[in-house]
Structure 1
Amino acid sequence: MLDVREYVLKTPPGGVKRYDHEALCDLLKVEDYSRVIFEQGVGREAIVRVYPSNPLMDVRAVDVDDLVMDARGRITLGTYFDGSPLRFRLFDPKTGNAQRGAVFGTTGAGKSRLVQAILIACKASGIVVHLADLKHGQSVPEAKGNVATRVTTQYETILMLRGLVAEAERRMTSYAEMGRSGFVINSPDPLTYGIVDEANRLLEKGAPFRDEAALLIKELGRTGRSVGVGIIIAAQAGHLDELGGSDTLRGMLKEGEVILLRWSSAMMQQLVSDGLLPRGESLQPIPKVVGQVRRIRRYNEQRADDEDDVNSQGMLYHLTGIRPTSMARTYVVGSIEPCTGYDPVILDLYGPHAPPGETIDLEEHMTAKERQTAGGGPQEGMAGAGPDPEPEPEPDISRMSTAQRILAALPADGLAEVDLMAVLEADGGRRIARASVRTNISTLRAKGLIARPDETKLIVPAPAD
């Protein structure tokens, strides 16, 4: 058992809102400030613990079992300083709601590895993910092929977000027709998430799609969650006003899952003033280097070569959890040292199986003006941008949506449902559940792309104008 000194304090009514951590450590004669943990309890009780070394320095590697969603919709991302699990909720089975989430952290704080853990958890739990990696795909490169949709430019991200909003609206209409007021996971639709990494690039002042991006994210946070379409953003911890405007995320974050890694002072002031922390609440700072002792050295005294090595990656506060002022740390995700290519440890965590869900058809969500400008193809580096004088290649079934595959499979005289299912099983694409096929058929009929069933009960393409 660790040699831990523990002091139980009686505090003034309402508890301690502000305290000087360095002064507390000096009072306890502890040079390494990271060894001292202060935690305010309920009412007038607080606890100060002094550890022989920082308890978060030796966390274990993450395991896939940690990341499989439990019966209460949670995954385990790491541990608090006292060994209790750090849990992050992806789904609330009591309300049927997907979550809204945000991860903030400065450069090198461990944000990308935490996003990797969430992505791995989604794949392991059967959750469909549509991912925007706005660092040109570099933040989480191993996600390629492990999520339903992966985009790397701001314009593609806008099309992806439009697709997610359209899916949320489709579900609302469909559920209303069923007489259903809430979301039931996998009946018929899967839990789905849009995840935007490096969201500050999309939402910062001067970004080309800032206003629409803020509107779409806010819409998903407001209405998507009740139909199983959640949204998570990860961003540099600068200032909330840089993320689409002062009120874009405020309401969304207060009831979602918010994680704060190493931060800037401006971000902390904003979080407090926006009510994510009680006004005046104190968080123990997360230093860049844990265990570093600031002291004067003698003239001939040498400092250790590794004294300034960055080692606090993954240390965080779960601001909307049950212990918002208690420091925690994520489990180790992936290799410790940088790899020359894809990280084999992370790839092993993802596993070889195909990701759940279908790719969002980005071109379907372009406006008429955008189609004209792009010559019929997506902009800003998307495949197919601009006119192509060459003959069109054969369609790539692996990149086609279910709706596209259904339309491609239907002959002019139609097919019975059982025959359509057989064609879709044999076309070389991903297996599609019958419920998903039926939902897409209903949507195609509503759009006038498939005729209403006649007395033969065949699924027939709509006649050409």
Structure 2
Amino acid sequence: MSEITVTRRPHLADQVPALVSVIAPPALGALTPLLEPGLAALTAAATVCGSAAFATHYVGRIPASVLDATGIGDVLTAQRSTLLGSSLLTSMAVAPGVFLGPAYADGLLAGFLDPASVSGLVSAAWWTMWAGLTVRLRPALAARRVRISAPTPEAGPPGTPRPGGLYKIWADHISGEGGAHPGQHLVGVTDSGELWQGIIEAPQGKAVNVSAEAVGSAYRVPAACVTFADGHHPGEQYVTVRRTAPAELDPNTMEGMWARLVRPKVMPGTHLKDAQVDPATGGWVAWVVADDDVPAVPVPDRKLLVGALRSSMTLVDYQPHPSDPRRGKIRLMDKNPLEDGVPFPGPQALEPSKGGYIAIGRGVSGRVARLQMFDPVLGAQHIFIAGVTGSGKGGVVQIIALAAHLAGTAIIYADPKGSSNPDVEAMAAYAATGTDAIKSLRLAYALLQHRVAESARLGRKNFKATSDCPWGMVIVDETHMITDASTEEGKEAVFILDKIAALGRNLGMTLLIVNQAVNADKLGGSTALRTNVIQGGAMVMLRTDSAQSNLVTVDGFEGIDPGAIPAAWSAEDEPLVWSDDIPLNDPARTFGLGYVGSPGEPVQMMRSWILESAAPYIRHDAIIWPADWPGWDDRHDIAEVPVIGEAGYTPSNGPSWGGGGFAPSLDGGFTKPPAEPSADAAVLACFDDTGLEITKDDIRTLTGLNEKTLSNVLTALVKNGEIERVKNGVYRKNP
């Protein structure tokens, strides 16, 4: 059996109590007589109490919980006899000295110089006990070199060197004479089969400098299988040696592919963690984690990431962690589970959560793709949908509109194209298409003005939806067509949309922008509109121009290239030499494929529900309109009046609209009714017919107006000076 020499160094937790035990008796014995009488007496009492406490601990009468509370319970237990001995020696030196003075201290500490006297015998006995105490504490006081027997290789399973063999290899090739690092010994080895660990100890005064290459060469493993960790001091280091290469060195694993292909140039300073097979895709899923010396995971260019992984855009998904900048999730798929489509599961899937989130499709992880339509505390949340023709944005609009309709939202729809989504038009309380699309925005602006005034009048801080004051949603399809800044109507549209985007959230009005791109020049040049909608709400990005990725600054969209989303799921490679005899396949389109981001939701690759038509789910008998607004009766008149640029009209001096009680027609189509006298004209006609003064009740009987509308009209006419209130409930017309 071979032996090796190792250096044993005490731990600081053992060393400090041992030093105190050795130094305290002579030091306190010499100093106590020199103290003031009161302080000397207090010191003597403390030493006696300490002796009593250590005696109690020695006989096992102190609870383990009390010892553990000190943080060094194991040390106190291991040194209980020496602590008791030290406390008794200290009491012998201190307590009598308080009463007998320096003469006693001199006799006890130096009396051994006169061995024939009584004090000499006492002194010799006291120092003998102190010396024995010091010898017993030597292992806890200083490092020492000892010879140990190395376990034999037969101690463990055959086939690999066990601890005995590990020690011998180390001594022969590393720590022995002629080794790579003489004097740097291996101790404390534990072997778990796949790897073994130990402690490297360097000679005192030197630091451990054993290299991974030396260890790898000695044990015939790659240097990457050897890792080190700092010990308690420079002369100590922990070593771990794997017998098989880590996953990142195996090119057949996800970790190996990442380390070889992605880490060097695409995402430096990162590694994979918890890589595992993803049953949803048949591929791999893993955490991307920043290295210890890297503060955050870098934002990858998705196209470069896909190329490095030797895959395609539809088979790689990367999700930044929504709250931890040091992590992200990578998914490498054999087949995208969204390729076969995600059929619409039914209207029950569109029911908003308590937080106002609705599901619009499903992500590659199997988790539903959600966006927030409203927040119970903050109010309505705006939505931006970007995608070129054929990307599926019409289907997403239809799903969101259906969810809003079934949730009791009043929808105002503007479609300058004129035929974008007839089903959405059927759900709307008011819809205007083609060249009339601006009318919907004028009506939405008038509703916004009303709610601004009501909020100020009622001192309302946060919007609370009720049956009479519902959530509102303004949907603007193909927004670039209505925001042409070169026209007066385009300027008016930009002005209105800016106001709704800035003020609508607190007033319960969602603005849903649908456009082919998010460029400011496609929104009438309004960067404020884009910022308010995207930053303050949800973003759905389908296939569109690659340049759009730089304009979306929402967390989670970093590095996404919407232009790289293919138009089709799969297509045969273009042959090197073309021939008319080669048949062309018609691949399935990727409509509805994209990314969705919303507050509190991870951004992931998703596909919207496949819903050809929402018509079967529309409740024509439950179309909601903003009943809180008296001007709804006059919506068609309001829609005709430009907000800016006509007859000097501006938002501050426009007319006051009254009315109420309108119920939408059951067929969902809203055509302008035949022109009828306005409420103002009807009230003024009453004065012409009946004389100078008339009561409010008579006016109601003659006009048929409801109480709320009549009150608003009378208030407006008095304010304009056309009539005056003679007394409460009685009015007359001014000349």
TM-score with structure 1 setting the length: 0.74
Structure 1 residue corresponding to 2:361, chosen from 49, 62, 78: 78
Whether the aligned pair in 2 keeps the contact of 1:238 and 1:264 (CA below 8 Å) is: no
* Partner in structure 2 of residue 357 of structure 1: 625
Whether the aligned pair in 1 keeps the contact of 2:303 and 2:561 (CA below 8 Å) is: no
SS at 2:319's partner residue? strand
CA offset at residue 276 of structure 1?
3.0
* Partner in structure 1 of residue 283 of structure 2: 4
* Partner in structure 2 of residue 131 of structure 1: 413
Change (3 A) 1:445 1:409: closer
Structure 2 residue corresponding to 1:37, chosen from 317, 321, 330: 317
Whether the aligned pair in 2 keeps the contact of 1:194 and 1:232 (CA below 8 Å) is: yes
1:233-382 matched pairs, under 5 angstroms = 233-237=513-517, 239-253=519-533, 254-271=535-552, 275-277=553-555, 281-283=559-561, 285-292=564-571, 294=573, 296=575, 302-303=582-583, 305-307=585-587, 309=588, 311-323=589-601, 325-334=603-612, 345-357=613-625, 361-364=635-638, 366=641
Task: Report the AA paired with residue 606 of structure 2.
Answer: A
- CA distance in 2 between partners of 1:231 and 1:146 (Å): 16
* Partner in structure 2 of residue 393 of structure 1: none
- CA distance in 2 between partners of 1:303 and 1:47 (Å): 39
1:11-50 matched pairs, under 5 angstroms = 11-12=290-291, 13=294, 14-19=296-301, 21=303, 24=306, 27=309, 30=311, 32-41=312-321, 42-50=324-332
Pair 1:60 & 2:343 matched: yes
Structure 1 residue corresponding to 2:477, chosen from 197, 210, 219: 197
Bigger-Rg structure (1/2): 2
Pair 1:153 & 2:434 matched: yes
State the structure with bigger RCO (CA 8 A, min sep 6), 1 or 2.
1
CA offset at residue 331 of structure 1?
0.5
- CA distance in 1 between partners of 2:345 and 2:421 (Å): 16
Whether the aligned pair in 2 keeps the contact of 1:17 and 1:282 (CA below 8 Å) is: no
For residues 277-313 of structure 1, the C-alpha deviation after alignment (integer angstroms, 9 at most, x for no partner) is 5796345732111133546578889455223x4x111
Change (3 A) 1:363 1:258: same
Whether the aligned pair in 2 keeps the contact of 1:78 and 1:331 (CA below 8 Å) is: yes
| Alignment gaps of 5+ in structure 1 | 335-344, 373-395, 425-436
My pick for the range that moved more, 449-458 or 275-284, is: 449-458
CA offset at residue 132 of structure 1?
0.5
Which structure: greater helix fraction?
2
For residues 150-197 of structure 1, the C-alpha deviation after alignment (integer angstroms, 9 at most, x for no partner) is 10134x333432332222222222233333333210174221122111
Whether the aligned pair in 1 keeps the contact of 2:411 and 2:430 (CA below 8 Å) is: yes
CA offset at residue 73 of structure 1?
1.8
* Partner in structure 2 of residue 111 of structure 1: 393
Structure 2 residue corresponding to 1:448, chosen from 717, 722, 729: 717
Pair 1:216 & 2:484 matched: no
Whether the aligned pair in 2 keeps the contact of 1:36 and 1:51 (CA below 8 Å) is: yes
Change (3 A) 1:239 1:324: farther
SS at 2:548's partner residue? helix
SS at 1:319's partner residue? strand
SS at 2:427's partner residue? coil
- CA distance in 2 between partners of 1:399 and 1:39 (Å): 52
Structure 1 residue corresponding to 2:374, chosen from 77, 91, 106: 91
Whether the aligned pair in 1 keeps the contact of 2:414 and 2:432 (CA below 8 Å) is: yes
Change (3 A) 1:351 1:170: closer
CA offset at residue 50 of structure 1?
2.9
For residues 64-90 of structure 1, the C-alpha deviation after alignment (integer angstroms, 9 at most, x for no partner) is 122233322222111111111222222
Change (3 A) 1:117 1:400: farther
* Partner in structure 1 of residue 653 of structure 2: none
Task: Report the AA paired with residue 448 of structure 1.
Answer: L
Change (3 A) 1:24 1:219: closer
Change (3 A) 1:280 1:166: closer
CA offset at residue 323 of structure 1?
4.7
Change (3 A) 1:8 1:170: closer
- CA distance in 1 between partners of 2:305 and 2:381 (Å): 39
CA offset at residue 316 of structure 1?
1.9
For residues 389-415 of structure 1, the C-alpha deviation after alignment (integer angstroms, 9 at most, x for no partner) is xxxxxxx998599x9689879994677
